[in-house]
Amino acid sequence: MKDFDPRPYQSMIVSHIHNVPRCAVWAGMGLGKTVSTLTAIDGLFLAGEDHPVLVIAPLRVARTTWPEEARKWSHLRHVSVMPVVGSVDERRAALRYDASVYAINIDNIEWLVEFYGERWPFRTVVVDEATKLKSFRIGGTEPKKNGEPRRSGHGSKRAAALAKVAHLRAERFIELTGTPSPNGLQDLWGQMWFVDKGTRLGRTYDAFRQRWFQKSFDGYGVEALPFAQEQIQDKLRDVCLSIDAADWFDLEAPIVNNIYVDLPPKARALYRDMEKRMFAEIEGHGVEAFNAAARTMKCLQLANGAAYVDDVGNWREVHEEKTQALESIVEAAQGAPVLVAYHFKSDLARLLAAFPKGRALDADPQTLRDWNDGRIPVLFAHPASAGHGLNLQDGGNILVYFGHWWNLEERMQILERIGPTRQLQAGYKRPVFVHNIIARDTVDEDVITRVESKREVQDILLDAMKRRG
């Protein structure tokens, strides 16, 4: 366990949650929203609010991120997080476990509301990635006779199910997101209804739209009126806390976020065979490493989720943990472009299959233009192909290392394509986020340790040369 030394903005998040029972925290990925929220929850427990807490999140985040954060920090040793995922029987079993926090994926919220009915036990609800609620709508001006909101024909069924208990059963409602309005101000109404039931932005979406929007010039959709931004901000200032990384971090230093995944049992067994015996059998195909270097390469492949089974490029998938982690990152980005560094061709094939709108960086100049123009949501690049002189900074400021390799130069090379210096040179005042997807207890961890130590040595050397000059 690690000791938690909160940054000033993390203390602000904790205080905000304590002081504003129904609130929103707008902070980007990698800024510590999860540990800050758990710290706030722990404080509420200590203050006597001993009822269980519900966290609603994307599947991987509910299954791994929240439980792992609770286990990571020493001050959270009394906070237990139980994932409520899997089959109906597995979810029922998880709910019977005596935990202080239960984390469920948003796809199962309808089931949970129906499961508990009038017995709903969660008086504090946390929605991680609250933009999932943006499509919620209420039709008409009056609620139904039973007190439930009257829905129009739009919006998520999941959000509608949550709406049944959000105000009637929950005293505290906490929304977490880094991108509250990915498509514009109109995304705010659905989210804020869960905070204040329409007090600030209007009882219905129609009222909200009539007050602050007008039809677009082309007749399709709506656009905000000139005064909308300022007025809406003023309305939400007391319940929304916004954390801008640029205010707290040196923009010359990327914000690094390590995301750990666990190999499933079958993949772990294959990995151990390769690590110890230098041989593994995948779907009837024998995979053998003839020396330590080859073994390391095979272990890196297995950590990523696939391995080559012959000398002509055929491969077999063994797990999807890293792909699912990347899905969470892309989802959290809420439309912001994501640059993904891969190493093996097998990984590229799997990534292109998992992200149909993604593209691989190739020699076609149009690909680069499309990325920098914001037309590619996910760009897959081999570090060796993202060479010196290649400008990618206009396309985005989020880099994900899907897999890892020993070559520090290549690793730094692709980072530099969107790095802080290039961002500033291009006139962007925005931080660079770097997400390392790491398979726990694999050679991934060794690689990260080694390249970071190499970087440290390199930085000392460069700094020494600077002083000498």
Higher-pLDDT residue of 148, 156: 156
Architecture of domain 8-248: 3-Layer(aba) Sandwich (3.40)
Q: What is the pLDDT of residues 347-380, one digit of tens each?
A: 999 999 999 999 999 878 788 889 988 999 999 9
Q: What is the pLDDT of residues 106-147, one digit of tens each?
A: 999 999 999 999 999 999 999 998 988 988 988 644 444 454
Confidence (pTM): 0.68
Task: For domain 255-261+319-468, give its CATH number from 3.90.1150.10, 3.40.50.2300, 3.40.50.300, 3.30.565.10.
Answer: 3.40.50.300
3-state helix, strand, coil in the chain (%, to 5): 45, 20, 35
Residue 392 is predicted with a pLDDT of 85
The ranges of the chain annotated as CATH 3.40.50.300 are 255-261+319-468
The sheet with strand 255-261 has its strands ordered as 255-261, 433-439, 398-401, 338-341, 378-381, 359-360
Higher-pLDDT residue of 31, 349: 349
Residue 365 is predicted with a pLDDT of 79
Higher-pLDDT residue of 219, 118: 118
CA–chain centroid gap for 287, Å, is 34
Q: Which of 5-19, 67-81, 160-174, 409-423 has the lowest mean pLDDT?
A: 409-423
Residue 213 makes CB contacts below 8 A (sequence gap 6+) with 185, 186, 222, 223, 224, 225, 228
Band (pLDDT 50/70/90 cuts) for residue 154 is: very low
Q: What is the pLDDT of residues 228-259, one digit of tens each?
A: 888 998 899 899 998 877 778 766 788 999 99
Q: What is the mean pLDDT of the chain?
A: 85
* CA–CA dist 465, 305 (Å, integer): 42
On the question of pLDDT at 463 being above 80, the answer is no
The ranges of the chain annotated as CATH 3.40.50.10810 are 8-248
Backbone angles phi, psi at 279, to 5 degrees: -150, 140
Cβ(138)–Cβ(149) below 8 Å: yes
* CA–CA dist 55, 124 (Å, integer): 9
Its sign, for the CA torsion 4, 43, 62, 95, is positive
Band (pLDDT 50/70/90 cuts) for residue 73 is: very high
How much of the chain, in percent, has pLDDT values that exceed 90?
Answer: 51
